[in-house]
Amino acid sequence: MSFSFTNKKLSITDYNDKNNGKVKFLTALTTGASIAAISALSMAAPTIASAKDIQPSSADYTFTIEDKYKGTATRALDKSGNTWKYNVDARVAGIASAAQHSTFTINGNAVIPTQASTTYKLLGIGRTHKLDFNPRGKKVVSNYRGKSTTLNMAQQAFDDLSLEVQIRQDLLNGRFSGNYYMAKHDKIEKTPFKKSGNTKITVPAGTFDTVRVDRIHDDNSRSTSFWLAPSLDYLPVKVSQINDGKKMDLELSKVN
């Protein structure tokens, strides 16, 4: 979903998926608060008895886009029995909002998604993308703009939020590989990441020791960096994203 800044105002006429030259405004609301990554483990990966699991959590964030638009985001990870639910809500008051929801299980170190949805709204107009995962059948059904597409899942593919949990699981258990995949509207896309060292950073929530993880983009005009805190099960403390020269920064403001 693409949204532009025209004469310092959001232009509703830029509500066009094929307009790749425009800043992906509402995508930044959610991807800024989540990591699009999965483990390269096979879908039949055995249970790892000693694997550590991330813990349920709730956190608040603030973000800015182009130093002009300011917003807030909340992220809540809950567990009931063997089912995990992850919800992210973000908004720029009076202008735009985005919401992501993901349901999955964790088997050993492997995160196994079942359903996910992402909804974007700009000035009251929006769209929703839904994913239904069938790990046994090695399929993902993508529903977007009234079209249903069945994707073959040769490797385990994930939505944004369950992918974030997978990469956090990998870091927690010393299994980070950098080889990841992501389910899109009409395809499953390889999405590689790399670790770029350790650093201490200060955000509104405090000062944290972090591991920096960068997404590797094919397009040199894009960059995405995450600073993850080991003390918080590698929860994102800061995210910085540049897309077509437009910058978005997100920082942790409170751990609930």
Look up the pTM and report it. Answer: 0.80
Percent of the chain with pLDDT over 70: 80
Q: What's the pLDDT score for residue 20?
A: 40
Q: What's the pLDDT score for residue 67?
A: 82
Would the pLDDT of 41 be above 70?
Answer: no
Q: What's the pLDDT score for residue 29?
A: 46
Concatenate the DSSP letters of all residues of the chain into one string. Answer: ---EEETTEEEGGG--TT-TTS--HHHHHHHTTS--------TTPPP-TT------EEEEEEEEETTTEEEEEEEEEEEETTEEEEEEEEEETTTEEEEEEEEEEEETTEEEEEEEEEEEEETTEEEEEEEEEETTTTEEEEEETTEEEEEE-SS----HHHHHHHHHHHHHTT---S--EEE-SS-EEE--EEEEEEEEEEETTEEEEEEEEEE--SSTT-EEEEEEEGGGTTEEEEEEEEETTEEEEEEEEEE-
Would the pLDDT of 39 be above 80?
Answer: no
Span 182-230, pLDDT tens digits? 999 999 999 899 999 999 999 999 999 999 999 998 887 789 999 999 9
- Of 42-56, 63-77, 109-123, 154-168, minimum mean pLDDT range: 42-56
Span 130-188, pLDDT tens digits? 999 999 999 999 999 999 999 999 999 999 999 999 999 999 999 998 888 999 999 99
- Give the residue with greater pLDDT, 72 vs 67: 72
Span 46-57, pLDDT tens digits? 343 468 889 999
Q: What's the pLDDT score for residue 2?
A: 29
